[in-house]
Structure 1
Amino acid sequence: MIDYNALYEKAKKIRRNVVKMIYKAQSGHPGGSLSCVDILTALYFGKMDVDPHNPDRADRDRFVMCKGHSSPAIYATLAAKGFLLEEELDGFRQFNEDLQGSPDMLRINGIDMSTGSLGQGLSAACGMALASKIDDVDYNVYALLGDGELQEGMVWEAAMFANQYKLDNLLAIVDMNGLQIDGSTDEVMSLGSIAKKFTSFGWYVLEIDGHDFDQIFGALNTFDKIESKPVLVIANTIKGKGVSFMENACEWHSNIPNEAEFKLAMEELR
């Protein structure tokens, strides 16, 4: 039985560390990092088979943070899981440190793919999922994309590929917070019906509240039952979730809190 209250507290701690990292570095992307924390918490503490003491195990599950600019969220999650020491988070975006603005798989245990160039992550995840089948090594691949990222054409090539090769060990999750750096996704480049698009590409599609652990785990359990096709979860989220003045505000895609805002955020995330 999964303890949702424990996950809620863990997610709050991860959010606190996200804000601390960005404030200390005076650089980063708080909005999209905060919107995906509940998804990451569910994956790393209730679903994925990963071991910080054996991070390169051949049959481990893989995770691709396609929206690499939300790196504070994955770094804070990896620290909570034991892949990183919490004090390492202080090196975020600092010279001569490993935790740079985009994740680097060659420098950080637990990072399965270097990302940051939007649109490429899902293709890498497809390659990992296909390798599992070719090598006959049983593992799942989880990919987290931003909704604005779906405006990149390479995503749709990967979507076509995943269906062609029946990658039923691939789960893609869209962090559907509705905002990107220039405004709403509808205003910048409307995505139309993501569900209809991916369904037409042969995917099994689910839509959930990306902050509701019961719905998140319901989708993850459904993924386990689907055969011969990849699964997409559209997770409706709130950009800046957990910090009132950051929520649903596109300027907090990459704004940096001042001292007063930082203190208020820490108070709200207690």
Structure 2
Amino acid sequence: MFKHVNKILKKHCNKISRESKVEGIGIDSYSKKFNLSAHLSILAKGIIKKNDLTDIAYNNGISKSQLSKLNNKRPYTISEKVFYSLLNTFIKAHRYDIYHDYLDKLYSILAIDSTFIETMVNGSGIYQREKRRNGIKIHIAAKTNHYALPLKAIITPANVNDSKVFDDLLWHINEYMSGNTVLTFDLGYYSYDRLKELKENNINFVSRLRKNADYTVIKEETFNSKIVGFRNGLELRLVSPDIDNKRREYDLFHLI
């Protein structure tokens, strides 16, 4: 597995390194031993193995200070370029550039979600002396039809609330939104004002209902579907399926 990771990263890093030299960035000048591909390779392997900084340094014959210097001095935009270089290869491999007109005629489902990536496990180093967890969050907007296609990713510290990043992600994927697009997201992005704004902008969406949600039933439509209203004037369809012989108030819909 790691052999393939190294091979893929080396190919894309060499491309970015050549482009950066032309731009005068000189990203490989920070360390003769650890050029960009070697640097990202040891970080990628460390993430896969859930190693922290101490373990990564120990396992790769590099001091923590040298690794920290590489992490801090190499522009973060370089990692972004490598990410999009990998992403573009994925897109071309699936020929989305050719078939997107056909796919967009169907209902296009876009999902917004985040994931926590641990950069320091419980305890630091080989002997697990420290008791803390650090990490980052990756907030992703992706097209989910047929296969998952990431459209935009935003990296934040782990303690940033998901809801604060939602509007930025929505702005970046605006070009992919159309009348047949359905946006889906979980309770981490839940806000009555946000749901109202999405509806006013004619954006189709599906989300979960909070357990403590306060609403009024406006109209019963079927045995498991009704129109409900909230205090801010928002009206949505609420679907309540039977799960394990119990009626569950589950999903909120706005579909044009």
After TM superposition, the score normalised by the length of structure 2 is 0.32
The structure where strand makes up a greater share of residues is: 2
Return the index of the structure with the highest Cα Rg: 2
The structure showing larger relative contact order (alpha-carbon pairs under 8 Å, at least 6 residues apart) is 1
After TM superposition, the score normalised by the length of structure 1 is 0.30
